[in-house]
Structure 1
């Protein structure tokens, strides 16, 4: 057996590089699995340093919102600031780009911010727009998803005959037609 000849295979150099990449990826995945199974609180793709963060490092991050807040849960002045930004987007992007002349089949109220259900839906639409129009976050299909999954259903609900603008006509604005009586709010603490 010692005299057996080893076949002469030509192995491309690139294959060795590919194998080294696979080994490195496998090592990184193994480290992530080990960290996750040990209950470590590390992000995927981040190597564990073994050091615990100091108490003051995370406290500032915990005090801030991790995700955009739902507008109806905000109190002044945060609500006012968020509403101002929403008004800029609705009046600057949505109205000129997507809303044709209002009609009995497609209602719109020029004082839409006085209709809380409309504010809630438009805010959710705006949050989705912010995420889905960023190619770095969602690729190039994000705008299509936004139109299909967010814009179209939102406009159907807002502009429909039973939507928040049902009592508003081209020359008349009504908000009392949809407001319920005084009911304690489950969303805000302190309401009774």
Structure 2
């Protein structure tokens, strides 16, 4: 054949490049599957009408189909939950705090870095630690956050949360190693322009 060159040029390809390409292909496949799952895409090409569009145009039951799909659930704010959901969420939070956070990240309590062994009796601590735990769940998922998720979690979530909780003015301010106090964090009566003190 006249179109083929006499000699095929040799390409210098780095050894790990093929593995990198295969990793990228796998990541693209996972992301594509996530996008399809989140958008409900049935694989139609751009510009093609989906079956849902056809049903709506024909006066079909697309609204009923949408109601059948599972509704997106946002993470709960623990202080707004009622029992038994609150109890279940608090139990899971306690397991994470006592099993991961305390042994892995907390140093010995001191006057500059306070901690209460009964932290779950402080609503402010519950709220902050629950938010920290939700962020941990998201940021340690390698599918959504890759390799940098844990670092970002520590920088953006763990460190600020611990600074607030363990500060000398934080929710554990009245707690010492041998004593637990929660009454010191309850707000006092705030004067109001709408009410006048009785004479």
**TM-score interval, normalised by the smaller of the two chains:** 0.5 to 0.7
Give deviations 1:107-152, integer Å, cap 9, x for gaps: 0000000000000000000000000000101111000100000000
**Distance in structure 2 (CA, Å) of the matches to 1:167 and 1:61:** 45
Q: Which runs of 5+ in 1 are unaligned?
A: 1-7, 11-41, 184-192
**Distance in structure 2 (CA, Å) of the matches to 1:139 and 1:86:** 24
| Length-normalised TM-score, structure 1 | 0.67
SS of the residue corresponding to residue 169 of structure 1 reads: coil
Structure 2 partner of 1:92: 99
SS of the residue corresponding to residue 177 of structure 1 reads: helix
Root mean square deviation of aligned Cα: 2.5
Kindly report which structure 2 residues correspond to 1:92-111, keeping only aligned pairs within 5 A, or say none: 92-111=99-118
2:134 counterpart (127, 131, 155):
127
Give deviations 1:37-82, integer Å, cap 9, x for gaps: xxxxx928654323453526525734xx612111011011110000
Q: Where has structure 1 moved over 6 Å in runs of 4 or more?
A: none
| Length-normalised TM-score, structure 2 | 0.65
Q: Does 1:73 align with 2:80?
A: yes
**What is the aligned residue count?**
143
Give deviations 1:1-22, integer Å, cap 9, x for gaps: xxxxxxx8x9xxxxxxxxxxxx
SS of the residue corresponding to residue 163 of structure 1 reads: coil
Kindly report which structure 2 residues correspond to 1:20-39, keeping only aligned pairs within 5 A, or say none: none
Kindly report which structure 2 residues correspond to 1:1-192, keeping only aligned pairs within 5 A, or say none: 43=39, 47=44, 48-49=50-51, 50=53, 51=55, 53=62, 55=64, 58=67, 61-62=70-71, 66-181=73-188
Structure 1 partner of 2:31: none
Which segment is superposed worse, 134-143 or 82-91? 134-143
Q: Which runs of 5+ in 2 are unaligned?
A: 6-37, 45-49, 57-61, 191-199
**Distance in structure 2 (CA, Å) of the matches to 1:93 and 1:73:** 25
